[in-house]
Amino acid sequence: MADIKLDETFDFGFTTMAEEDMKAEGNDKAQAMYNAIMPLLVNLKKDADKNPIINWPNRAAKIDLFITKLNQVLSS
């Protein structure tokens, strides 16, 4: 059988990252998503009773619950 030599420095392109850096990156992404979603939720809530095109009963209350859930997830 042929003698196979492995290059022990080859890591398939993976890199390592400190746990703190991963958490910071995750928090940054979560904050970016929060900032993108909140204007949509606020606008949907504004005309909850005025827009007959969107049939969504109790829209304002459900959006408030979702905003509360988002705030809990972001703060945890």
User: Could you read off the pLDDT of 5-38 as tens digits, one per residue?
Assistant: 777 777 677 767 677 777 777 788 888 999 999 9
User: Which DSSP string corresponds to 18-56?
Assistant: -HHHHHHHHHHHHHHHHHHHHHHHHHHHHTTTT-SSS--
Task: Specify the pLDDT at position 2.
Answer: 65
Report d(CA 43, CA 10) in Å as an integer.
Answer: 51
Report d(CA 20, CA 28) in Å as an integer.
Answer: 12
Task: Specify the pLDDT at position 76.
Answer: 80
